[in-house]
Amino acid sequence: MAEADDAPRAHTEVAVGILLRPDGAMLLSSRPAGKPYAGYWEFPGGKLEAGETVEQALRRELIEELGITIGPAEVWKVTEHDYPHALVRLHWCRVHAWQGEFEMREGQQMSWEHLPLRVAPVLPGAYPVLAWMAEERGFSGPTHR
C-alpha cells in the first residue's frame, strides 16, 4: 500500500503577467514578507480562484497587488515548476496596456528591467520565460544574476 506522501501533488494554477513597456522593459516585483521565497523577484500575478479564467485571475491579482487595471491578456506560454511548498502551473500572459498608478499594496518593491536583469534573486520558475524573452530579442548571455 502506497504512503500518502507518494500521491501525486496537485498543481496550483497561477496567472502571471509580463507587463511590457514600449521600450521593452519588463516589470518585476519582489515577493512580500511572510510569503514563500520572500524577497525574491518575480513577474506579478497569483493563484486562480474557483471558476476564474487566467485573464480574470490576473486582472484581479494585479488590482489587489499593484493597484492597476490591465488591458487584454492572453496566455503566451505555460510552464510548470516544482517548488518545495507547491507544484505550480504558470500561465504566462504578456500585457502591453494598463491603467492606474502603481501602488505596492503588499509592501513589495517593483523594478522595470531589461535583460540581463539587475534585480536578484529571481524566482526559478521565471528562468524559462527569461530564456524565451532573450531568444525573441536576440539577447545572448546570462538573463539574470
Confidence label for 143 from pLDDT (cuts 50, 70 and 90)? very high
Provide the 8-state DSSP code for 38.
Answer: T
Q: Specify the DSSP element, H or E, that contains 87.
A: strand 87-95
> Domain containing 43: what range?
9-137
pLDDT for 1 beyond 70: no
48 in a domain, yes or no? yes
Span 107-121, mean pLDDT?
A: 97
- How does pLDDT run across 48-93, given as a tens digit for each residue? 999 999 999 999 999 999 999 999 999 999 999 999 999 999 999 9
Find where cell 500575478 sits: 45
110 in a domain, yes or no? yes
Which pTM value belongs to this model? 0.91
CATH number (domain holding residue 34): 3.90.79.10
Task: Find, among 110, 140, 129, the residue nearest to 32 by Cα.
Answer: 110
- How does pLDDT run across 85-110, given as a tens digit for each residue? 999 999 999 999 999 999 999 999 99
3 in a domain, yes or no? no
Angstrom distance (rounded) from CA 90 to CA 13: 6
86 in a domain, yes or no? yes
Domain count, the chain: 1
Residue 76: CB atoms within 10 Å: 14
